[in-house]
Amino acid sequence: MKNNYEHLKETVWPGIFTEWEEVDVEIYAFTDLGIRVAINDEYIGLVYKNEVYGEYEKGQKLKAYIKLVREDGKIDVSFQPKQGKHVFLTTDKILEHLKTADGKSSFNDKSSPEDIKNEFQVSKKVFKQAIGKLYKKGEIKITDEGIELI
């Protein structure tokens, strides 16, 4: 990608992207609303500040997802895949976390959103859905102290 972002289009025609389509992005600006990204070196997209769960830097290239093409043609982007897939990926992160912590973790549904975001790069809602899924599958137990592998 070029370092000059002036060639990027601000809007897109309907049908160019599908919802939750995976795209390549490059971060090029931080604004009051969130992070502006170049999508496939052709369009401008925005990841809203309240949906950013990690540390990012200008020039960083990564995979992202088309969340929505608005009526005005502007593109909302997410660094996380659609919720169902995101929960599935988060269960893997939690299991990995437990394995490196000898099967026990102090994280549970009472943990602060900030702690969850810092450790797993997800919202508390997604974390709770993921531990719920692991619990239902009989892979973990949830205690007052946290979660444990079974």
Residues 64 and 29 in one domain: yes
Beta strands 147-149 and 34-39 are unpaired
Q: What's the pLDDT at 53?
A: 81
The pLDDT-based confidence of 76 (bands split at 50, 70, 90) is very high
Range(s) of the domain holding residue 59: 22-78
Residue 135 and residue 115 share a domain: yes
50 has pLDDT over 80 = yes
- pLDDT, position 123: 85
For the segment 82-91, the average pLDDT, to the nearest whole number, is 80
Kindly state the tokens that stand for 102: 């000898």
Q: Is residue 47 part of a domain?
A: yes
Give the global pTM. Answer: 0.64
Count the domains in the chain.
Answer: 2
Residue where a domain terminates, one of 32, 52, 78 = 78
| Position 39 in a domain | yes
Burial track 123-140 (b if 16+ CB lie within 10 A, e otherwise):
bbebbbbbbebbeeeebb
DSSP conformation class of 145: S
pLDDT reading at 32 higher than 80: yes
Question: What sign for the dihedral angle of Cα 93, 80, 63, 36?
Answer: negative
Same domain flag for 92 and 144: yes
| pLDDT reported for residue 2 | 45
- Residues 72, 89, single domain; the answer is no
CATH number at residue 72: 2.40.50.140
Residues 91 and 140 in one domain: yes
Q: How much is the CA Rg of the chain, to the nearest whole Å? A: 18
How many other CB atoms sit within 10 Å of the CB of residue 1?
15
**Mean pLDDT throughout 86-99?**
89
Q: What is the CATH number of the domain that holds 101?
A: 1.10.10.10
Mean pLDDT of the chain: 91
The 10 Å Cβ neighbour count of residue 143 is: 10
